[in-house]
């Protein structure tokens, strides 16, 4: 079968009417988090869009990012986008294995050299020559360097690829690093999150498909349209924060009333992502709506940023209150003693190192 | 803080009022220059009472259409003429998009030129086939 040359022809093959195409454009514009006023421009661009090749490499990861994408909540629209991409190599999803799989990657590279999108999930271990993770006898480091050479752009999918993630967490035994530490001569888009929101992954791919370039990025290399506002600023519980109404424990009256979870460790104020609007599970909910604070999974080094149940104000809040909250949150810091100098505490806050209740008690005493 | 503060039955609004004001400006622009405004509700954070407040304030209008293309779409004019609520659904009924359009008629309701051309070709073919059949019977 001859592959359709443009997206418009692809949709026509699926017997999608022009009215359906307009719906597709409206939802794709929304998916890319662009203003609805961009819809005519998106329609014009999508009519001419050509089928891009995507090579997806999975390194030190848990496959949660792929799970997120393949269980995306708007299959009608996203499938049309994803079916239109030519996903030429993805060793978890493809039928081929072993030498045949690697030959598919080499073939896709040679046929689309300089034009394919390289998607990477997982961090790359570089300690001891990168021996801690290999595919077909090739280290992740070597495979990345080889494959990135012919890529037009790189999309680092998930917090491991974007910032190192769990493998990079202290003590980082494999010397894991994110993509952006190894790739300096190609545009890199970081789609962070553990896992990232499926509509953000497909939105970035749709943006490249539509406009032929990567979207505008923030200082961490993340697409501004999705990561431009904090969870806190877009949280439906924000009015409670403004009114000073907080849940103090997970089962008190405030929790039952759906009040702000800031005091229970919610990292929404320092976390930038689209969870509060894009949501999860077919648009059903997101962690805060389910009653649990944001853990900040789309921010760099979130695994080492202290306890999930420590309020962001822990460094300056009263120890008694903090200790009480830690206990009720099931995150008691234990009895280990240790003195943390004031300067070290400030440094730890800057570097997101763990600050225990004991550290704070010692410092404040 | 006591529970009383949250139980005073005041609606918890986040973005409903700004959206209503954007609609008001949109109607001004529509009357003055014929310019349409589209608001993507799925990209705006809503408080628990925002959507109901919007629906209560705008009310129901005279037109309600259903489109069946790439899943269902509902196009409903609100009680404020020129303000339309457009909701797109997937094949299994999940909401994919939720828009408010301030316009005389949403673009998606109009018959589109490529579809009209396709329909005309189809009609011509059918008429040609009918004529051939009629000629053969004579």
Instruction: With beta carbons under 8 A apart, name residues in chain A contacting B108.
Output: 19, 22-23, 26
Tell me the domain boundaries of chain A: 7-227, 232-364
Interface predicted TM-score (ipTM): 0.84
pLDDT at A263: 96
Query: Do the beta carbons of residue A144 and residue A120 sit within 8 Å?
Result: yes
pLDDT at A8: 73
pLDDT at B79: 98
To which H or E segment does residue A111 belong? helix A98-111
The CATH-assigned architecture of domain A232-364 is Irregular (4.10)
Share of chain A above pLDDT 90, in %: 53
CB contact under 8 A, A23 and B73: yes
In angstroms, the separation between the Cα of residue A111 and the nearest Cα of chain B is 33
- Rounded to two decimals, the pTM is 0.80
pLDDT at A74: 56
* Residue of chain B nearest A248, judged by CA positions: B1
**pLDDT tens-place string over residues B43-102:** 888 877 899 999 999 999 999 999 998 889 999 999 999 999 999 988 778 888 999 999
CB contact under 8 A, A257 and B12: no
Q: Does B120 touch chain A (CB under 8 A)?
A: no
**pLDDT tens-place string over residues B23-35:** 999 999 999 999 9
Of the options 3.20.20.450, 3.30.420.40, 3.40.50.700, 3.40.47.10, the CATH number for the domain spanning A7-227: 3.40.50.700
In angstroms, the separation between the Cα of residue B134 and the nearest Cα of chain A is 31
* Buried/exposed code over A15-28 (b: 16+ C-beta within 10 A; e: otherwise): ebbbbbbbbbbbbb
DSSP class of residue A230 equals B
Can you tell me the mean pLDDT for A102-128? 94
Tell me the domain boundaries of chain B: 3-105, 110-138
**Given a cut of 50, is residue A129 above it in pLDDT?**
yes
pLDDT at A202: 84
Average pLDDT score over chain B: 87
pLDDT at A218: 96
User: Is 3.30.1370.140 the CATH number for B3-105?
Assistant: yes
CB contact under 8 A, A23 and B113: no
Neighbours of B91 (CB within 10 A): 10
What tokens does A139 get? 């280290």
Q: Does A97 touch chain B (CB under 8 A)?
A: no
Q: Please state, in angstroms and rounded to a whole number, the distance separating the CA atoms of residues A186 and A153.
A: 6
Neighbours of B24 (CB within 10 A): 12
Q: Please state, in angstroms and rounded to a whole number, the distance separating the CA atoms of residues A94 and A6.
A: 24
């Amino acid at each position: 079968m001859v592959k359709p040359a443009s997206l418009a022809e692809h949709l026509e093959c699926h017997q999608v009417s022009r009215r359906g195409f307009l719906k597709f454009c409206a939802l794709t514009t929304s998916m890319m988090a662009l203003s609805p006023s961009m819809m005519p421009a998106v329609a014009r661009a999508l009519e001419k869009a050509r089928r891009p090749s995507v090579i997806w490499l999975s390194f030190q990861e848990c496959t949660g990012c792929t799970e997120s994408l393949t269980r995306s909540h708007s299959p009608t629209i996203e499938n049309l986008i994803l079916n239109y991409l030519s996903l030429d190599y993805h060793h978890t999803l493809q039928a081929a294995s072993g030498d045949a799989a690697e030959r598919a990657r080499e073939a896709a590279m040679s046929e689309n050299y300089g034009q394919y999108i390289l998607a990477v999930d997982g961090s790359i271990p570089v300690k001891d020559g990168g021996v801690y993770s290999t595919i077909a006898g090739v280290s992740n480091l070597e495979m990345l360097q080889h494959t990135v050479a012919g890529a037009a752009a790189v999309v680092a999918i998930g917090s491991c690829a974007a910032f190192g993630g769990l493998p990079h967490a202290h003590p980082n035994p494999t010397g894991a690093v994110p993509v952006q530490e190894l790739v300096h001569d190609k545009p890199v888009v970081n789609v962070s999150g553990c896992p990232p929101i499926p509509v953000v992954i497909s939105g970035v791919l749709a943006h490249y498909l539509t406009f032929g370039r990567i979207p505008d990025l923030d200082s961490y290399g993340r697409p501004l349209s999705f990561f431009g506002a904090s969870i806190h600023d877009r949280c439906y519980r924000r009015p409670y924060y403004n009114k000073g109404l907080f849940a103090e424990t997970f089962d008190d009256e405030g929790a039952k009333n759906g009040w702000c979870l800031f005091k229970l460790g919610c990292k929404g104020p320092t976390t930038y992502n689209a969870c509060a609007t894009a949501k999860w599970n077919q648009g059903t909910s997101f962690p805060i709506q389910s009653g649990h604070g944001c853990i900040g999974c789309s921010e760099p080094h979130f695994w080492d940023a202290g306890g999930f149940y420590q309020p962001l104000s822990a460094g300056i809040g009263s120890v008694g209150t903090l200790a009480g909250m830690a206990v009720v949150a099931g995150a008691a810091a234990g009895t280990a003693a240790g003195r943390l100098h004031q300067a070290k505490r400030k440094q730890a806050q800057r570097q997101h190192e763990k600050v225990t209740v004991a550290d704070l008690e010692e410092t404040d005493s | 803080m006591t529970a009383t503060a949250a139980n005073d039955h005041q609606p918890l609004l986040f973005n409903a009022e700004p959206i209503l004001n954007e609609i008001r400006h949109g109607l001004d622009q529509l009357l003055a220059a014929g310019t349409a405004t589209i608001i993507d509700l799925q990209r705006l954070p809503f408080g628990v009472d925002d959507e109901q407040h919007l629906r209560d304030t705008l009310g129901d209008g005279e037109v309600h259409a259903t489109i069946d293309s790439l899943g269902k779409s509902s196009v409903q004019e609100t009680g404020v003429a020129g303000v339309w609520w457009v909701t797109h659904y997937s094949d299994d009924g999940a909401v994919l998009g939720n828009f408010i359009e301030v316009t005389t008629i949403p673009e998606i309701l109009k018959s589109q030129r490529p579809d009209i051309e396709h329909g005309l070709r189809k009609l011509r073919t059918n008429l040609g086939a009918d004529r051939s059949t009629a000629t053969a019977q004579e």
